[in-house]
Amino acid sequence: MSLLNVAKRAFTRPISSTVSVAPVVARQMHIQSIPMWEGSGNNYAYLVSDDKSRQAVIIDPANPSEVLPHLKKATDGGLKLTNIINTHHHHDHAGGNSEVLKSYPLPIIGGRDCDKVTKTPSHGETFTIGDGIKVKALHTPCHTQDSICYLFEDGNDRAVFTGDTLFIGGCGRFFEGNAQEMDKALNETLGALPDDTKVYPGHEYTKGNVKFGIKVLQSEPVKKLEAFTNANKQTQGKFTIGDEKNHNVFMRLDDPVIQKFTGKTERVDVMAALREAKNSM
Ligand SMILES: [Zn+2]
């Protein structure tokens, strides 16, 4: 922040802080990140609640020993869990379902191959959490064929939970799909979301992603992401779809610098070459 901005902030701060003033628009969506397997898988589960109705969902509670204590605290405090949500079937995302069901017998919304899934929403299907949060399922097959990203909207507050499809500054491996499918998932389906949508991926992989990104594209946005990642251990929810379009090389397939790096010009070929180069890093 520049000195001028610091000064501006100081002058616009309310004079008295003894009277609490309600914000103009009440924010109802609350997102709690739950890191799992820190230092190895670096996964995230997310507890998302609607502050008004106190209804909540848990996304990818893959390691119950790390997640259940948070769920107990939340439900003891009055939150009502309504669903488990899974982004895809891999064990480090859906592998905790059976164990979580023993304490919380909830319906599971997820891709068709997720353990114990009760409902697979169709592409574009919506559902709500309480009165405040609208959720839209976005099918993004490639990393797995059953990959689903979920757009959560609370008024003007938007978040997308992207599993192993989109990471901050990167994307998932093409285990069950191809470069064309990942181009569609990232650049058509997720790329069509409003630029201010905050990104919550399934793993904290940003450090490795930007290490690759900076080799491909030495632009200001990539350098900024690198600096942020060096200073912050967690990056989930700190960047938006608009940011990804600038600093994520997998979302810049038409960028001449990236085309030159890959030696390709067709989008699908650029995507495939980027993924291969990242895999062999
Ligand atoms: Zn996965």
Domain residue ranges of the chain, discontinuous segments joined by +: 27-205
164: annotated active-site residue? yes
Distance in Å, CA 19 to ligand 1 centroid: 47
pLDDT at 132: 87
203: annotated active-site residue? yes
Distance in Å, CA 92 to ligand 1 centroid: 7
Mean pLDDT within 241-253: 98
Of the candidates 50, 92, 154, 183, the residue annotated as catalytic is 92
pLDDT higher than 70, residue 102: yes
Mean pLDDT within 99-108: 98
pLDDT higher than 90, residue 28: no
Distance in Å, CA 247 to ligand 1 centroid: 22
What pTM does this model have? Answer: 0.90
Least confident span in 4-18, 34-48, 128-142, 196-210: 4-18
30: annotated active-site residue? no
What percentage of the chain carries pLDDT values higher than 90?
88
pLDDT at 27: 62
For the chain, the three-class secondary structure string (H helix, E strand, C coil) is CCHHHHHHHHHHCCCCCCCCCCCCCCCCEEEEEEEECCCCCCEEEEEEEECCCCEEEEECCCCHHHHHHHHHHHHHCCCEEEEEECCCCCHHHHCCHHHHHHHCCCCEECCCCCCCCCECCCCCCEEEECCCEEEEEEECCCCCCCCEEEEEEECCEEEEEEECCEECCEECCCCCCCHHHHHHHHHHHHCCCCCCCEEEECECCHHHHHHHHHHHCCCHHHHHHHHHHHHCCCCCCCCEHHHHHHHCHHHCCCCHHHHHHHCCCCHHHHHHHHHHHHHCC
pLDDT higher than 60, residue 29: yes
Distance in Å, CA 209 to ligand 1 centroid: 16
pLDDT at 5: 42
Distance in Å, CA 178 to ligand 1 centroid: 15
Distance in Å, CA 3 to ligand 1 centroid: 43
184-214 pLDDT per residue, tens: 999 999 999 999 999 999 999 999 999 999 9
What's the fold here for domain 27-205? Answer: Metallo-beta-lactamase; Chain A (3.60.15)
Mean pLDDT within 247-258: 98
Indicate the pLDDT class of residue 14, thresholds 50, 70 and 90. Answer: very low
92: annotated active-site residue? yes
Of the candidates 50, 60, 89, 93, the residue annotated as catalytic is 93
Q: Can you tell me the distance from the alpha carbon of 215 to that of 222, in angstroms, rounded to the nearest whole number?
A: 10
Mean confidence (pLDDT) of the chain: 92
pLDDT at 6: 39
